[in-house]
Structure 1
Amino acid sequence: MVASTAWVAIAVAVPLLAALASLWQGRWTALIVAVLAIPGSLLANVGVVWTVFELGVHRHPVGGWGAPLGIDLHVDGLAAAFLALLALIAAVITVHMLVDPDMRALSPRRRSLFWSLWYLVWGALAAMFVSGDAFNIYVTLELATLAGVILVSFGHGTTALFASMRYLLLGTFGALSYVLGVALLYGDTGTLDLALMAERIGSGAAPVVAAGLVTVGLAVKAALVPLHVWLPPAHASAPAGVSAILSALVVKAGFYLMVRFWFGPFVQLDGATWTVLGILGAVGVVWGSLCAIRQERLKLLIAYSTVAQVGYLFLLFPLVAGGAHAAAWSGAHYLALSHAAAKAAAFLAAGNILTSQGDDRLSMIARAARHHHLSLLAFGLAGATLMGLPPSGGFLAKWLLVTAAVDTGQWWWAAVLIAGGILAAIYVYRVVRLAYVTSPAEPPGSTGPPRPPGLLPVPMVAILAALALALLSVVLGFASAMPLRLLEIGMPAVVPPEPEPGR
């Protein structure tokens, strides 16, 4: 394979072209588009990763016009890793949704709209991960958000509609905050390119206010506590595949962009902000876990778990500020990758149970266990990653973060990581116990009641899709050498300033 900067443009173009092709309301359109888009996207992303290993950090000028007059696609190890994981997870979820009985039951018009929006989310995220321009980031992030809002409304009943409206309102607030911050930055630096912005940014009040506005906007997108209230109802009400992509990668976009800004243009601004982000992340770990423990519906439990798992990622900022640069960088981003695979698997498994049983209440899990051994196995494997049990990818990532905290004397962040793992074990064990411990109301050896009539069986392909992503989250604990080496390519060498005395 030839190393070429053009691979990144292909990786972005394939899902966007698939979104346009999906508007055709043919009987086999969804299948044909998927058969063409999935291999094309995977091949392009293999090319992107190969090029990063061969050439290192590079830029691809769109249309031959680079910054500052044109637009550059910026590709380093972090972008390549997120881009490749997006293609892999989105491909598996696409296969799951192709055979999902709920998706097949849609009218041709609604099915066409669904698939077009689905590929639009995929393409917008791909473009966002490699964008080096603050305004293009805004455009792609809002494309993903607005398409995601409509996809959430494809869930059943008015609950999904209200959840999508809440998502829209808070997402709009986040977008407004972000774009106002970008406007201030443009006024201060005269550019929208992040690299040039980092060179020109001043030290007055305007950059500080801009940083605050951008951070608040991205915190909404990342569902960082206390700006997380849109996430649980949206993720719990959406179709299973939509919940999977939202939790796995859409919320990661806010964190990813926060890293791009605070390790780029904002790196020399007030160092106290890094600690504040860590504190909010720690609160999110505890609050999200406690809420997950209290839930009586499986999808809501998984959704609140996402709030907790996102909190871990923001521990990167205080750990780096405290001197744990390389280990914290690798650990936080490897946790994001591992969590993406695990959470997509968990939501697909929950969706399989809901489709077959018509109910995802935990009190009904014992009945589901007799018909969904593989789906519950997928949930258990994903849960091992969420808890951070060896040999999963979650264990390796949390080990790196704990090591970074201990080596730099920041033991309180290590305590948060360990406590979060214990709380995750509690809510995962709740599901496992209800699934595999015989209910007192049934005699030992009972096969339980049959599956409720009138509900369609879940195809084996959908079950294997959830299991494949769960296995991926575990395999990341073994096959870690190449992903970790990829994440180090282009890792920022700059360190934020110490907080001012008395602050």
Structure 2
Amino acid sequence: MILIPFLGAAACLLLRGRFVAWAGLTASGATFGTCLAQLLQVWNQDVIRIDLGGWTAPLGIGLYLDGLGMMFLLLTALVGLLVGVYANGFFGRAADYRRMEPYFWPIWLVLWGGLNGVYLSSDVFNAYVLLEVVGLAAVGLTILSGTRESLVAGLRYLLAAMFGSLIYLLGVALLYAEIGHLNMFLLAEQMRVSLPAVIAFGLMTGGLLIKSALLPFHFWLPPAHAGAPAPVSAILSGVVTKASFFLLLRIWFVVFPMLSVPLTGQLLGMLGGAAVLWGSLQAVRQTRLKLLIAYSTVGQLGYLFFLFALLAPSGGGVGTEEWAVMAWTGTVFHVFSHGLAKASLFMAAGCLLLAMGTDELAAMPDMAGRMPVITFTLGVAGVSLMGLPPSAGFVAKWMLLKACLVSGQWWWAVVIALGGLLTAAYVFKILAFAFVPASDKNANSHPDPIENKRVSESKEAQVVRPVPPLMTLAALALAVLCVLFGFRAEEVIALLPHDLGLDALLGGLHSASSSGERP
């Protein structure tokens, strides 16, 4: 799963013309197939460990795959394969996009290999190296269009990513000086509370929070995601933002479980709650579709950080084991559902941009009539973001709400409910523009004069150009998966009790995996 994308990237660099896209698609399909094979192995064996070169830790480099890592690998594989199909149509559509294609495929495959490496790494330094590969490749994709806006966004992204990496690496250096090795599971066995360990914990957490774009470190995300080409936006929002969060889970709940005190957990929970409300409010205010979806990402990422508040030791309330497992599975399932929905939204926005030449919401009258499949895609993916049944987003947010209430931390449930209402506001804002009839006399008499001007200026863009069917179907497929995984959530969630890190996370309590139960 690491080698195939890297080899595919090398092949794409050597080839020319449309052979680049076909080589990229072949590598994408092979990586997806390998991921499915590993899924069966993890399902049957629980955990897979490989010592490269036969050298065991702490001397050698180890690969480690459990249920948690498999969830992130599966999300990346699903999004990666369908984005590849989508990109094949997108970059072949016009000359401006076609010139990006020889650069898109090798950079994207390097990024995919880096992501898989992060999810398979068992030591904190190699995870840092692979996270740097992911960050640099993501910046390369961000500036793919070469416009001034994309270059500014890419530079901001690069500076934020490099600063976060520097802080993280300082923490790794302190850990090595204190303990003498960097394998996550050996560190967990030998970790003790000391000043260097506390500082390392703080530095590594801070660096990963910057990379995760948690408020107030989100400043780089909206311009990068909104200004990139549609396939890149889908990749950045759907899978790239998840890599640093995955590593944050490993750091908090495997390497430093004894340092996860209530105060730090509640602090991350408050930042997550602020991100949910602020990011959603900013999304409601936007007039451009891609920028709206980008700010939505800021808000949706905030839900992930309620986990740290819910699972930080709190004196042990009644039903601790039940709500801890519920919070854990709900959060990771939200990662999965959000990745599918957000990639689908950005891909649908790219189809609208190709069709109309703009992503201004005011240019979308009668899109429901002229592009019904794309409108349906926006609606279904939006339903998952709102957390309405029968979507995967509903399953995730329902478990988070139950965990909040059962644990006695009801105030997080209030924030989740408010976030759902704000999400509904911006999703219905998109659909409201899409369902306005183009011939309606009021279509150009918006009460807001600014919006009225935008509608008038966008008359030209209302000539809908054809969009390759594969692009439409790829976006629709991800939206449909949001619903299918909502119906069959049990099979996806059942992977998580296979994660040995859950035992450490629960502080010695018997997890669902040790008792053989499925949540």
> TM-score higher than 0.5 here?
yes
Distance 1:415 1:440 in 2: 42
The equivalent residue for 1:223 is 213
In 1, are the aligned partners of 2:276 and 2:298 still within 8 Å (CA)?
A: yes
Give the unaligned 5+ runs of structure 1. 1-10, 498-503
Q: Give how far 1:104 is off.
A: 5.8
The equivalent residue for 1:472 is 481
Q: Deviations over 1:377-420 (max 9, x none)?
A: 11111100100000000001111111111111111111111111
Distance 1:364 1:450 in 2: 7
SS of the residue corresponding to residue 56 of structure 2 reads coil
The equivalent residue for 1:316 is 307
Distance 1:378 1:96 in 2: 14
- CA RMSD of the aligned region, Å? 2.1
1:304 and 2:310 are equivalent in the alignment: no
Q: 1:431 to 1:108 in 2, by over 3 A?
A: closer
Alignment of 1:352-363 (within 5 A): 352-363=351-362
Q: 1:363 to 1:45 in 2, by over 3 A?
A: same
1:281 corresponds, among 269, 272, 275, to 272
Residue identity (%): 42
SS of the residue corresponding to residue 366 of structure 1 reads coil
In 2, are the aligned partners of 1:188 and 1:202 still within 8 Å (CA)?
A: no
Distance 1:379 1:141 in 2: 31
Alignment of 1:175-190 (within 5 A): 175-190=165-180
SS of the residue corresponding to residue 122 of structure 2 reads coil
Distance 1:111 1:127 in 2: 24
In 2, are the aligned partners of 1:52 and 1:75 still within 8 Å (CA)?
A: yes
Alignment of 1:483-498 (within 5 A): 483-490=492-499, 491-495=501-505
Distance 2:226 2:26 in 1: 31
In 2, are the aligned partners of 1:392 and 1:476 still within 8 Å (CA)?
A: yes
Alignment of 1:145-156 (within 5 A): 145-155=135-145
Q: 1:443 to 1:217 in 2, by over 3 A?
A: closer
Give the unaligned 5+ runs of structure 2. 315-319, 444-455, 508-519
The equivalent residue for 2:418 is 419
The equivalent residue for 2:247 is 257
Q: 1:41 to 1:451 in 2, by over 3 A?
A: farther
1:204 corresponds, among 182, 194, 207, to 194
Q: 1:270 to 1:80 in 2, by over 3 A?
A: closer
The equivalent residue for 2:76 is 86
Q: Give how far 1:135 is off.
A: 1.1
Q: 1:429 to 1:259 in 2, by over 3 A?
A: same
Tell me how many residue pairs correspond in the alignment. 484
Q: Give how far 1:108 is off.
A: 7.7
Amino acid in the other structure paired with 2:381: A
In 2, are the aligned partners of 1:97 and 1:462 still within 8 Å (CA)?
A: yes
The equivalent residue for 1:132 is 122
1:69 and 2:59 are equivalent in the alignment: yes
Q: Give how far 1:441 is off.
A: 5.1
In 2, are the aligned partners of 1:153 and 1:238 still within 8 Å (CA)?
A: yes
Q: Give how far 1:12 is off.
A: 1.6
In 2, are the aligned partners of 1:289 and 1:308 still within 8 Å (CA)?
A: yes
Q: Deviations over 1:341-381 (max 9, x none)?
A: 00000000001111221111111121544432211211111
Amino acid in the other structure paired with 2:364: I
Q: Deviations over 1:96-140 (max 9, x none)?
A: 001114676358875322211010111100111111111111111
The equivalent residue for 1:30 is 20
Distance 1:451 1:125 in 2: 41
The equivalent residue for 1:4 is none
Q: Give how far 1:439 is off.
A: 6.1
Distance 2:299 2:389 in 1: 20
TM-score, scaled to structure 2:
0.89
Alignment of 1:445-464 (within 5 A): 452=461, 457-464=466-473
Distance 1:54 1:25 in 2: 39
Distance 2:191 2:91 in 1: 53
Distance 1:454 1:474 in 2: 32
Deviating more after overlay: 485-494 vs 41-50: 485-494
Deviating more after overlay: 84-93 vs 28-37: 28-37
The equivalent residue for 1:8 is none
Distance 1:315 1:281 in 2: 6
Q: Give how far 1:203 is off.
A: 1.4
